[in-house]
Structure 1
Amino acid sequence: MADEMSGGCACGRVRYTAKIADDEAYLCHCRMCQRATGSISIAFKNVKQSDVAWEHEPDWYDSSPIAERSYCRECGTSFGFRFKEGSENMDLTVASFDDPSRFKPMHHFGAESIHRAWLNTEGLKEMRTEDYQKLVDKWVDATGSFPG
Structure 2
Amino acid sequence: MTEQTGGCQCGMVRYRVRGELGYPHICHCRMCQKAAGNYFLPLAAAKREHFELTRGEPKWFRSSDLVRRGFCGDCGTPLFYHIPEADFINIALGSLDDPGAVKPVMQSNTGRKMSWFHALDGLPVEAEPETPDREDAIAASNHQHPDHDTSQWPLGETHDG
Please state which band the TM-score falls in when normalised by the shorter chain: 0.7 to 0.9
Identity %: 27
Could you say if the C-alpha distance between residues 23 and 81 of structure 1 is closer, same or farther in structure 2, counting changes exceeding 3 Å? closer
CA RMSD, 1 decimal: 2.7
Could you say if the C-alpha distance between residues 111 and 3 of structure 1 is closer, same or farther in structure 2, counting changes exceeding 3 Å? same
Are 1:24 and 1:104, in contact at CA under 8 Å, matched by a contact in 2? no
Could you say if the C-alpha distance between residues 66 and 101 of structure 1 is closer, same or farther in structure 2, counting changes exceeding 3 Å? same
Q: Which runs of 5+ in 1 are unaligned?
A: none
Q: Which has the higher strand share?
A: 1
Q: CA deviation at 1:38?
A: 1.6
For 1:15, the equivalent position in structure 2 comes to: 14
Q: Which amino acid aligns with 2:102?
A: F
1:100 aligns with 2:126: no
> Which sits farther off after the overlay, 92-101 or 14-23?
14-23
Are 2:21 and 2:46, in contact at CA under 8 Å, matched by a contact in 1? no
For 2:150, the equivalent position in structure 1 comes to: none
**Residues 55-106 of structure 1: per-residue CA shift (max 9 Å, x gap):** 1221111221111001001001110201133x11121011101011111111
For 2:149, the equivalent position in structure 1 comes to: none
Query: Aligned with 1:81: secondary structure?
Result: strand
Query: Aligned with 1:140: secondary structure?
Result: helix
2: distance between equivalents of 1:67 and 1:48?
Answer: 16
Query: Aligned with 1:54: secondary structure?
Result: strand
- Structure 1 length as normaliser, TM-score? 0.82
2: distance between equivalents of 1:63 and 1:76?
Answer: 15
Q: CA deviation at 1:24?
A: 5.0
For 1:74, the equivalent position in structure 2 comes to: 74
Q: Which runs of 5+ in 2 are unaligned?
A: 145-161
> Which sits farther off after the overlay, 113-122 or 9-18?
113-122
1: distance between equivalents of 2:37 and 2:21?
Answer: 28
Q: Which has the higher contact order (CA 8 A, sep 6+)?
A: 2
Q: CA deviation at 1:144?
A: 6.5
2: distance between equivalents of 1:20 and 1:66?
Answer: 26
Off by >4 Å, runs of 4+ in structure 1: none
